[in-house]
Amino acid sequence: MSDLRFQQPHDDATLRDWQYVHNVIIPMHLLSLDEIRERAQRHHLEVAYLDDVLVGCSTVRPPSDDASTATVIARVLPPHRGQGLGEKLYARGLDRARELGAEVIETVVLSSNEDGLRFARKHGFAEIERYLLPGETIPWIDLRLS
């Protein structure tokens, strides 16, 4: 039986693991280690390991002072998809967002990530906006849990 464990990145090794998953899944928006360190101060980040193998990461952007909306993002490396790992990452992120006071849950998916869009829609998310970031050619899709 494999052991799935979650860890908040706290050192360069675990921050690099989070970075690796993010940068594999979002190759046109590569993040540096310094950018991830800064994100870890604002957001709740986790990395997921199956036994000792890195399989995914998650981000929970907490609600801001003037809104009750949190963003939950679960990412699973392609070789590990379809095994229920995204379900577990997402459920943990959703729980964390609600602990932080979120009343509305959103996610964001790169439009080229068909697996991610399928996952979001399967879990009750509906598209609310599509947009391009400056200098990018692939749209992002914001989705809200209905």
The residue extents of the domains of the chain are: 4-145
- Angle at which helices 12-25 and 33-42 cross, to 10°: 100
User: What does the radius of gyration of the chain's CA atoms come to, in whole angstroms?
Assistant: 15
- Beta-strand relationship, 69-76 and 104-110: parallel
Task: Give per-residue pLDDT as tens, 45-75.
Answer: 999 999 999 999 999 999 987 789 999 999 9
Predicted confidence (pLDDT) per residue in 90-145, tens digit: 999 999 999 999 999 999 999 999 999 999 999 999 999 999 988 889 999 999 99
H/E stretch holding 106 reads strand 104-110
Per-residue pLDDT at 1 exceeds 70: no
Q: What is the pLDDT of residue 142?
A: 96
May I ask the CATH class of domain 4-145?
Answer: alpha beta
d(CA 10, CA 61): 17
Instruction: Please report the pLDDT score of residue 2 as a whole number.
Output: 78
Beta bridge partners of 101: none
